[in-house]
Structure 1
Amino acid sequence: MGGNCIHMLNDQFRQTFVGGRVMMTPGVAAMADEDRRALIDRVRRFDEFTPDNDPYGEHDFGSIDLGGCRYFWKIEYYDPTLTCGSSNASDAAATQRVMTLIRADEY
């Protein structure tokens, strides 16, 4: 299973925001509501994975250009208490997914 299971769990989380937490940097939080909604919609619909931007096939990172700015989204894997990394990202019960929306100049 491995990477394929991880990419399915990541896609499900990214598309629904269910099964983890979504965070944003101050630059994303400061966006106009309409622009932030457009960014979130683009993150949910993102499907531009290639061997260059997704070398492990986990669908855990993306880059989006919107309104003249570049944004990233990144999914990281933590244990259920959010105190350390997950021991098995392919096990949804053992993993709390955290996706961060980031303006590229904040990275």
Structure 2
Amino acid sequence: MLAPSLSTTETIAKLNDRVRQGLDCQARIVITANLLAQVSDGTPRSQIIAQAKVLRAVRNCTFSSDSPERDLAFFEVDGKRACFKIDYYDLALEYGSDDPADASVTRRVMTIMSPQDM
């Protein structure tokens, strides 16, 4: 549980960091087919390696001041521009979350994509 003294924005940012680091087992992580095609040669082995590179880049990306919740970032993988967006849903993944700062009522979905996919 996060410290109650954190602001809502800080709490959301820390929860989003857990998703990026692969520590939120309830989160969903999706890499678009378009991005995967751009950073692999299409073979299964190449796609697995590309996914690992993409996830490493997401873990190590930096954020601008216009993303205080750390829910959107742009980065590069093998010279290809990519980005990710984290969205907040209810537990059934049907509707938006009523409280993204409360992990007990929110499921996060991180979509990693090419900027053209946005």
Write the letter of the residue equivalent to 1:84. Y
The structure-2 alpha-carbon separation of the partners of 1:17 and 1:105, relative to structure 1 and needing over 3 Å to count, comes to farther
Write the letter of the residue equivalent to 2:54. L
> Structure 1 stretches of 5 or more lacking a match?
none
RMSD over aligned Cα atoms: 1.5
- Show the counterpart of 2:102: 91
How many pairs does the alignment contain? 103
TM-score (norm 1): 0.86
Write the letter of the residue equivalent to 2:29. V
Equivalent residues of 2:57, 2:76 under 8 A apart: no
The runs of at least 4 aligned residues of structure 1 exceeding 3 Å deviation read none
TM-score (norm 2): 0.79
- TM-superposition CA deviations, 1:73-93 (whole Å, max 9, x none): 110000001111000000001
Structure 2 Cα separation of the partners of residues 29 and 70 of structure 1: 12
Q: Which has the higher strand share?
A: 1
> Structure 2 stretches of 5 or more lacking a match?
1-6, 41-45
